[in-house]
Amino acid sequence: MSDKKPKSTGKSTTKNTNKKTASGKVIKPLRRTNTVKSGSKTSNTTSSKTGTNNRAGKLFGRLKNNDNQGAYTSVKNRKKVIFSKASGASSRGGFENDKNRFRTIWAIALVILGLLIARAYYLQVANAQFYQDKGNELITSVRTQKSYRGMITDRNDLPLAVSAPLATVSFSPHDYAREYYELNRVKIANPDSPQLQARMQKRLDNMDLTRLAAAANIPVAELEKAAAIDESIDVTDEEAVKAALPSGAGSHYLPLLNKVTPEIAQSVSSLDFPGVYEKNFFQRYYPQPQPNSQLLGFMGQNASDPEGGYEGRAGIERQYEKTLAGDDGKVLVLKDAKQNSLREIKQVEPEIAGQDVALTIDSRLQYLLYKELEKAGRLQQARWSTGMVVDVQTGEVLALSTWPSFNSNNLNEMTGENQRNRALLDVFEPGSVMKPFTVAAALDSGKYTANSLIDTNPGSIRVRGYTIRDHNNLGRINMATLLQKSSNVASTKIALSLPPDAITNMQKQFGFGAKTPLKFPGEGAGLVTTPKEKETARRATVSYGYGLQVTLAQVAQAYAALASGGVMHPLTLTKTDKALPSKRIMEHEQAMSIVKMLEAVTEPGGTAKAAAIDGYRVAGKTGTSRRINPDGGYYTDQYRNVFAGMAPASNPKLVGVVLIEDPRSQIYAGLTTAPVFHNVMKEALRLYNVPLDKPLKTE
């Protein structure tokens, strides 16, 4: 029994061997090797001798097959198979590959993180203000808060220009209809909320156009027609509502109240009515428009202002624009989706009210001057007339006006002609009013005295082919008679006896040929050209007021310098605590001697007897010159009349100058401008309580 081996030994071994799996990772199951079929017979001897070898062979065979399949193959010995499906175990997830993949993934992650940080820095730090401003634009806006424009007053603090607060109330039918349809839509969309429906209905009741029409005093039918509410449309249909909204002209702006006081506007704006808007602004108002229109100027719309603000366009309004206007404030306001302002958030920039400008003008004298200029202009059927009154001791302009004028409160009356301040802007050939400065040059030269005699026989003189004449033969005359009779011949002889620049230098010394210190917008400078030695005709004409250009303001300034004893006090239009520096341009005795000579002009035998004032000594000079013809030469039937005078002559306080352009009824200044001077100066002396310096006439 011991020699026999159990039958089960061989079978058991074979069975166990076939079921055993290889260690390690296997991609595909190992295929079985060819074995003896279940019914075959084997000898015990063969099994005994070769049992171990068979098991080794079987295992080797399996390993070989697996090697062909890719299992148990090292990276070094593994065959590279391209485009073939891998089978068996793989070492691609080894440490080296995992380490590279790990580094790559972290590098990518760090780059993405860096980009995110950079983007966040750009948005929240580097460009934070830009995006913050963009966000604020959606819910806020900066509203300009108009500053109060300063007043313009006269020397007695009476207002000449003020800013009155006004308001304009308008109605937007488009916004009203949109709100109406929206409230109805909310009612229909919330049938299960009776409280919400009640609130919507209450708001709809408050939108009754009858209330608005009664407050604005306009027909309710006009509002209903503009709103065009369609009760039949489906308010839940957005496209249908959009089509029903008012469009076209007047759909967004229908004026209810235009330029009314804030109190009147409050009666409508207090209704808190949908689609009603109020705009507040300041309206410039001129209490005394015609006499002051060219002096004060006017307001015009500023094209560079997005809100359509106004600024000074002429005169004092323009000259002192920065002082009067002040600085507008800015307020940050919260707005809703319809761009309506809800409330003010904060003051961005403070409002700085404009400062008042006090003029040296006396509104009483200004009105009187204008009425006299208008009266004379209409009587003489003149093109225009203008005049000035100046304080001799200070250079302050007390009155400055021009006719024809316009109503500054209604710019529709304004034209290119009536808006000009003729006394400051227009230049002209002055004529004989320049002869006192010719006498001044003669006295300053030392060749002449007040009593020097000049032979004017035979009443004319020939210069370079031109004949210069007087009205008649005056014979031998002194300086006083030269001025009294306005001798062209005597003036010519003085000019030709002096150096070529003597007359023009004296004229420049008195301020001719340069703008006055008034610095008025558009002011003319005039023109004084020194003639050459051989230009004898020009040397002659300059001496009696031809061949040069001046402004009436320059004439007033020069006569005020004579009246003050040869001291030039710069003209001024505004009151100031700091007086402008004065300068002496002529000896006191010489200046006062010329003033005394000018008294003869207003006395019997002079050219301006109509300028005389009872109780006062008056000195002055007339000037009648021909108007220049644009086609060349001078008109033979058109003249310009000027009178410049001062009173009282013993101690001059006031200087007045008057100009009438192209008078038709009379052509001499003694008959046209001298009466205007008389009427204005008489009242001015009374207003300022100037003492009499001459006995009153008695009947």
Positions marked active-site: 432
* CA 96/CA 447 separation, integer angstroms: 122
Structure tokens at 316: 């004092």
Q: Looking at residue 664, what DSSP letter applies?
A: S
* CA 269/CA 220 separation, integer angstroms: 17
Name the packing angle between helices 173-189 and 194-205 (round to 10°): 160
Using alpha carbons, select from 641, 596, 33 the residue that is nearest to residue 377: 641
Which H helix or E strand runs over 178? helix 173-189
Q: What is the DSSP string of 566-616?
A: SEE---BSB--SSPPPPEE-S-HHHHHHHHHHHHGGGSTTSS-GGG-BTTB
As a dihedral over the C-alpha atoms of residue 92, residue 93, residue 95, residue 100, rounded to 10 degrees, the angle is 90
* CA 376/CA 400 separation, integer angstroms: 16
On the CB side of 19, CA atoms within 13 Å amount to: 6
Q: Looking at residue 675, what DSSP letter applies?
A: H
* CA 690/CA 302 separation, integer angstroms: 46
Chain CA centroid to CA 493, Å? 56
Distances, alpha carbon 183 to alpha carbons 56, 174, 189, 549, 589, in Å? 96, 15, 10, 75, 91
Q: Give the chain's end-to-end CA distance (angstroms, integer).
A: 195
Asked if 187 and 200 count as a contact pair (C-beta separation under 8 A), the reply is yes
Measured over the CA atoms of residue 412, residue 413, residue 417 and residue 420, the dihedral's sign is: negative
Structure tokens at 582: 């004065």
Which H helix or E strand runs over 424? helix 422-425
Using alpha carbons, select from 288, 282, 279 the residue that is nearest to residue 326: 282
Using alpha carbons, select from 195, 335, 216 the residue that is nearest to residue 273: 216
